[in-house]
Amino acid sequence: MTRDCRTSQLAAAPKRGWRNVLKMGALTAAVTALSAVAAPGCLDRPLEPIEPRPTSTIVERLTQSSVDKIDLLLVIDNSGSMADKQNILQLAVPDLVGQLVNPKCVDDAGQPSAQQPTGPLEACPEPGSQREFEPVVDIHIGIITSSLGGHGSDTCTGSSNGSDNDFAHLIVRESTAANAASVPTWQDKGFLVWDPSTDAPSHTPQGETNQATLIDNVKKMVGGAGEVGCGFEATLESWYRFLVDPDPFEKVTLKKDVAVLSGTDKVLLAQRADFLRPDSLLAIIMLSDENDCSIRDGGQFYFAAQTHNKNNQLYHLPKPRAACLTDPNDKCCRSCGQAPAPGCDDSKDACGGGLSDLEDKLNLRCFDQKRRFGIDFLQPISRYVSALRDSTI
């Protein structure tokens, strides 16, 4: 699939660090730093660097004043053109993880001391200095990808490339090669555990105690995401399914052109139960160079990812009705593939035939959908806001 030549975004490690996040005691922290990058193949616009814009979003606060355990989930876009962005994240891992497990010692003015401890259990070597915050000695680190398959369409089926659909399961591979090695994880649960305490380990058996080994394993898992996954990046829906979805489905099948969801993904639920704890700070870091494309599951929303019709000809979505061109939110804005809304005049609707190749490029299917197609095929953003904010779903 050709790449969308929109301005891309790269999420990397937060430049301002974890200090304020940890001191606030957030229940859920979505930490993302964005900067524009150029996608290969998009040579019709100038390539200019843009200064990174770090952002940290604290969604809800706990009553405690500090954080003693963290569940860190990295959501990595594994579609084409992502290798260089993953390389940048790998370079940032020592700082990202190191700030958590072995925070700097600072003086009364908040400036780093000349001498720093080599490990999280050591005291600050200079008199009068203290840690920016207490080292976090209980951390879960897991990685999932943006690939959730084709939602019932003929793309990203996983038949020839397993990375097309990672099911929002934790990945442990070091690469996408067929014989790729797996990163060793705690109890083979799919995630890493940082547990250096010598007096009272937080896990049984004890998790990783060596900072260098922890960082090396995180870097390997980041590289394992690869860039041969599905081009319809479901970055938001991936973490929603892994962390929140009350009943994640196991499979999707087509019945009379309708996508039917069935079963319960017990593997995912088991991974969630092991990884996510009720009393931890949850940090979600998303790495992507494109807009989210979390297509709704079930029904006929999968047509947003369909490439061919039953005659194996290139498939294009139906045209939008006339109202969509002036106001996509108008009740009369529908697809020509749907019946007109009650009370709407369809005399101005030019519904003959489908959209052209120019009007319906596959790699732009997730852009401006309501105006261009009369249907919004994507999950609403409110779904993810509620997931991070509300106590029940």
Contact indicator for 388, 286 with CB cutoff of 8 Å: no
Residue 33, strand partner residues = 12, 54
Residue type, position 173, single letter: R
**Measured between alpha carbons, how far apart are the two ends of the chain, in Å?**
35
Within this chain, do residues 229 and 344 fall inside the same structural domain, yes or no?
no
Q: Which of 20, 140, 144 is nearest to 69 (CA)?
A: 140
Within this chain, do residues 172 and 205 fall inside the same structural domain, yes or no?
yes
CA 216 to centroid of chain Cα atoms: 21
**Helices in 276-334 by DSSP H: which ranges?**
323-326
Q: What are phi and psi of 318, to 5 degrees?
A: -65, 160
Contact indicator for 243, 280 with CB cutoff of 8 Å: no
d(CA 201, CA 198) in angstroms, rounded, equals: 6
Residues 163-201 have pLDDT tens digits of 999 999 999 999 999 899 999 999 999 999 999 998 999
The larger pLDDT score, comparing residue 323 to residue 28, is at 323
Length of the chain as a residue count: 393
Within this chain, do residues 96 and 124 fall inside the same structural domain, yes or no?
yes
Considering 300, 324, 354, which residue would you say is the last residue of a domain?
300
Residues 54-100 have pLDDT tens digits of 555 555 544 445 789 999 999 999 999 999 999 999 999 999 999 99
d(CA 138, CA 201) in angstroms, rounded, equals: 9
pLDDT higher than threshold 90 for residue 22: no
Within this chain, do residues 28 and 151 fall inside the same structural domain, yes or no?
yes
Instruction: Spell out the residues 6+ positions from residue 213 whose beta carbon is closer than 8 angstroms to its own.
Output: none
Q: Picking from 18-22, 69-73, 147-151, 366-370, which range would have the lowest pLDDT averaged per residue?
A: 18-22
Contact indicator for 201, 195 with CB cutoff of 8 Å: yes
For residue 183, the enclosing domain spans 10-300
Considering 300, 323, 350, which residue would you say is the last residue of a domain?
300
pLDDT higher than threshold 80 for residue 8: no
Q: Which of 86, 70, 81 is nearest to 219 (CA)?
A: 86
Out of 39-43, 298-302, 352-356, the most confident range is: 298-302
Considering 265, 300, 335, which residue would you say is the last residue of a domain?
300
d(CA 70, CA 136) in angstroms, rounded, equals: 8
Compute and round to an integer the Cα radius of gyration of the chain.
23
Span 11-37, average pLDDT = 44
Within this chain, do residues 161 and 37 fall inside the same structural domain, yes or no?
yes
- What average pLDDT is seen over the chain? 87
**Band (284; pLDDT cuts 50, 70, 90):** very high
Within this chain, do residues 145 and 275 fall inside the same structural domain, yes or no?
yes
What does pTM read for this prediction?
0.85
Q: How many domains does the chain have?
A: 2
Residue 86: both structure tokens together? 């993953």
User: Between the CA atoms of 348, 354, 360 and 366, what dihedral angle is there, to the nearest 10 degrees?
Assistant: 80
Within this chain, do residues 253 and 340 fall inside the same structural domain, yes or no?
no
Interhelix angle 211-224/83-101, rounded to 10 degrees, is 160
User: Is residue 240 included in any domain, yes or no?
Assistant: yes
Within this chain, do residues 236 and 350 fall inside the same structural domain, yes or no?
no
Contact indicator for 236, 384 with CB cutoff of 8 Å: yes
